[in-house]
Amino acid sequence: MLEVGMTNSVEAKVTHSNTAKSIGSGSLDVFATPAMIALIEKAAAELIQKNLDDGKTSVGISVNIDHKSPTPIGLTVRAEVEIVEIDGKKIKFNARVFDSVSEIGSGSHARFIVDSKKFQMKADSKTITQV
């Protein structure tokens, strides 16, 4: 059961594949903001998924992140999320991201709990109308 105050964290090593230069969000070999957002979403999605019935999942619906400090290739980053509000199927998180030197980002993220099959069918129906 999901509750306010629950937390989760995940880590990733900064490699060439998750730099701003590689992802295309910038020209430098530093941890990319889109990679930071993905790490935050992973931490939140894992926390929710562990507490859902079979056939349910969550989808990201909003992200508001400040990327405060660069992280070079070779360091490990850690995203920490905490549930701060539950409003029916909408779950809101506070997020903080760290490297081994300092906090490198913070902000908020929200996810919505959905039925996996129904959601996928809704998405797939868009391809039928485009053919």
Q: What is the pLDDT of residues 77-95, one digit of tens each?
A: 999 999 999 999 999 999 9
Q: What share of the chain is helix, strand, coil (3-state, %, to 5)?
A: 30, 45, 25
Instruction: Work out how many domains the chain is built from and give that number.
Output: 1
Q: Find residue 86's DSSP bridge partners.
A: 91
* Sign of CA pseudo-dihedral 124, 39, 92, 89: positive
Residue 1 lies in a domain: no
Residue 60 lies in a domain: yes
The pLDDT profile of the chain, 131 residues, written as one tens digit per residue, is: 999 999 999 999 999 999 999 999 999 999 999 999 999 999 999 999 999 999 999 999 999 999 999 999 999 999 999 999 999 999 999 999 999 999 999 999 999 999 999 999 999 999 876 65
Q: Return the CATH number at 37.
A: 3.10.129.10
List the domain range (segments joined by +) for residue 45.
7-130
Contact 110, 62 (CB under 8 A): yes
- Tell me how far CA of residue 118 lies from CA of 3, 46, 124, 131, in angstroms: 25, 20, 10, 21
Residue 2 lies in a domain: no
